[in-house]
Amino acid sequence: MKVAILYDRLRWEEKALLDALKSRGVEVEMVDAKVRVAVPGKMTTIGDIVLNRCLSHFRGLYWSAFLEAEGVRVVNSFWTSLIGGDKLFTSLELAKNGIPTPRFVVAFTVEGAMNALNEIGLPAVVKPVVGSWGRLLALLRDYEHARAIFEHREHLEAILHNIFYLQEYVEKPSRDIRSLVIGDEVIASIYRYAPEGDWRTNIALGGKAEVCTLREEEEEVVLKAAKAVKGEVVGVDSLESDKGLLVNEINTTVEFKGAFSATGVDIPGKIAEYLIKEAKR
């Protein structure tokens, strides 16, 4: 059996996954998505299954499309990466499946975004539809400030910044919840505490991980969210609110070093075992 790990940066996670697979006697090929060429008719030898760990959303997405067209089994699937990698597409799938999520709207110009803000109310959050690590997120507390942020975005190079995706700001405790879902199981959950003076809880920004034990009904919400995007190995992030858990986003190339350290759950081992099981099917 051969498992390929498609990557564009070797983080702690990719190395841990490589070790976990090797220690289970599996042949592993590390495929550098930045230099390998995708050639029609020549991709099936890449492996029995490919774990797509690309950091770059679009790079990973185009790789998955190519590999699946060649009949290669990819985790997560092209469709899952397409939906999970875009915050609006995720919100739409969550809403469609009746999963509690923060209220959201979308607009496509500065004027539209100002109208969107009226719809959502203050405070609100504006985010790039594609992005991670809390980059370019803004908490909007007043209209003047919001307009300035929208105008700045309008002049950013990337076309995606002209998709004004807004959410209600959820008055959460100074933490959110990251749950690791593999297959049909929540294998670990952590609280991520925001660093001093920030409302974002990303570990990449200095957020701190602590063990979290979900209640049964919360676990159900998390699993339903993963299912809504047909996620196989995903990180489901949720916010605690007075309406219960609200699912904020679903990460399809999830970072789990923080969850591993805080919970001691062998996350790379469990991912390796899932891949082995799926490759045999």
Ligand X SMILES: Nc1ncnc2c1ncn2[C@@H]1O[C@H](COP(=O)(O)OP(=O)(O)O)[C@@H](O)[C@H]1O
Which residues contact ligand X by CB under 6 A?
Answer: 102, 125, 127, 131-135, 137, 167, 169-170, 172, 176, 199-202, 237, 239, 248-249
To ligand X, the closest distance from the beta carbon of 158 in angstroms equals: 15
Q: Are 26 and 1 in contact (CB under 8 A)?
A: yes
- Token pair for residue 111? 């004027």
φ and ψ of 87, to 5 deg? -65, -35
To ligand X, the closest distance from the beta carbon of 224 in angstroms equals: 19
To ligand X, the closest distance from the beta carbon of 229 in angstroms equals: 14
Q: Which is nearer to ligand X, 138 or 279 (CB)?
A: 138
To ligand X, the closest distance from the beta carbon of 170 in angstroms equals: 4
Q: Which is nearer to ligand X, 34 or 135 (CB)?
A: 135
Q: How far apart are CA 188 and CA 203, in angstroms?
A: 16
DSSP sequence for 115-150: HHHHHH-SSEEEE-SS--TTTT-EEE-SHHHHHHHH
Burial class (CB within 10 angstroms; exposed 0-12, middle 13-18, buried 19+) of 73:
middle
Q: Which of 203, 212, 221, 206 is nearest to 177 (CA)?
A: 212
Q: Which is nearer to ligand X, 3 or 200 (CB)?
A: 200
Q: Which is nearer to ligand X, 12 or 133 (CB)?
A: 133
